[in-house]
Amino acid sequence: MTDETDETDPQTAIDSVAGNRDDRVYEYSAGDDQEGIPFVGAGPGNPRLLTVAGRELLADADLVVHAGSLVNSELLEEYCEDAETVSSIGKDLEELIPLMRDAYEAGDTVVRLHSGDPAIYGAALEQMDALEHEGVPTYIVPGVTSAFAASATMRTQLTLNEVANHVAFTRPQGKTLDEDEDHISEFVGMGDVTTCIYLGTHAVSETMDRLLEDGHDPETPVAAIYHASWPDEDVIEGTIATIGEKLEDAGYRASAMVVIGDAVGGEDYERSFLYGDWANRGSDADSQEADD
């Protein structure tokens, strides 16, 4: 256990682990049972999109610290019936870390429940490092991120042969991202990238205006999927030129996944080699080996 000064300074914990590779990296794989507090991805909203591992951990939990309204209340009601649930909204690290540490050291089974997947804009690692610094082991249980729920809703793929070879998970400039750190225009300019914008619903009009100023095709398809997989899900389709106004008319200022690129429409793609020439070649090769 560290002294009181270190306990109340999470930055000390972050700095202390810099550059050190944990031996557990080589001992455990994702989905394995491990000791400590799991950081579980709740998925995009629909309780059925919670992983089996996540559901099992929640069922055994005494305390679930969750991401407030970002986690569907139906999921909490269905899978956390026997646990105390505490929202992390409005709580800083100095409050969250002692809350989880004390419960764990008292013998409670603690689960930290993040929305989507903890690895995508989840701010999970700083909590994990702070807990580890105080002797509480932690680990990650993946979840379904909202970009995947959005593509499922749109009945398309984020990657399509001869249309989109790459996917970019990004966010627009704002309070926490400087202008020179916003690469949305660069991703769109590559042409064969499906650009998925997180945490940017409030700035869609501004972002699209910048894309137009940079000379991008105004007819490039864009979809905004509000609350992907939630009961109140809404799909708004448009283009770089029109999506901003459409989203503003709908009144959404948060909680929409914005997807830019030709894969949005799922059109004009080429048949993949997987079930074409490559598959046939594989059969021929097998037959040749049998003949030999």
Look up the domain containing 43 and give its range. 22-144
Strands, DSSP E only, in 101-255?
110-114, 138-141, 166-170, 193-197, 221-226, 234-239
Decide which of 114, 144, 174 is a domain's last residue.
144
For 274-287, how does the pLDDT look when each residue is reduced to its tens digit (9 = 90+)? 776 666 665 555 54
The one-character DSSP state at 286 is H
Which residues, other chains included, contact 54 with Cβ-Cβ below 8 Å and sequence gap of 6+? 40, 41, 42, 43, 141, 143
Based on the fold, state whether residues 169 and 226 are members of the same structural domain: yes
Based on the fold, state whether residues 94 and 194 are members of the same structural domain: no
Based on the fold, state whether residues 166 and 101 are members of the same structural domain: no
209 domain residue, yes or no? yes
> Tell me, what CATH number does 165's domain have?
3.30.950.10
Which residue stretches of the chain have pLDDT < 50?
1-6, 287, 289-290, 292
273 domain residue, yes or no? no
Based on the fold, state whether residues 113 and 186 are members of the same structural domain: no
Q: How many domains does the chain have?
A: 2
Based on the fold, state whether residues 113 and 161 are members of the same structural domain: no
Based on the fold, state whether residues 151 and 259 are members of the same structural domain: yes
Beta pairing partners, 40: 113, 141
For 94-135, how does the pLDDT look when each residue is reduced to its tens digit (9 = 90+)? 999 999 999 999 999 999 999 999 999 989 999 999 999 999
283 domain residue, yes or no? no
1 domain residue, yes or no? no
17 domain residue, yes or no? no
> Tell me, what CATH number does 44's domain have?
3.40.1010.10
DSSP class per residue in 182-216: --HHHHHHTSSEEEEE-S-GGGHHHHHHHHHHTT-
Based on the fold, state whether residues 107 and 174 are members of the same structural domain: no
Q: What is the pLDDT of residue 4?
A: 47
Q: Going by DSSP bridges, is the β-strand pair 166-170/221-226 parallel, antiparallel, or unpaired?
A: unpaired
Nearest to 221 by CA among 252, 254, 188: 188
The rounded percent of the chain whose pLDDT value lies above 90 is 76
pTM of the model: 0.87
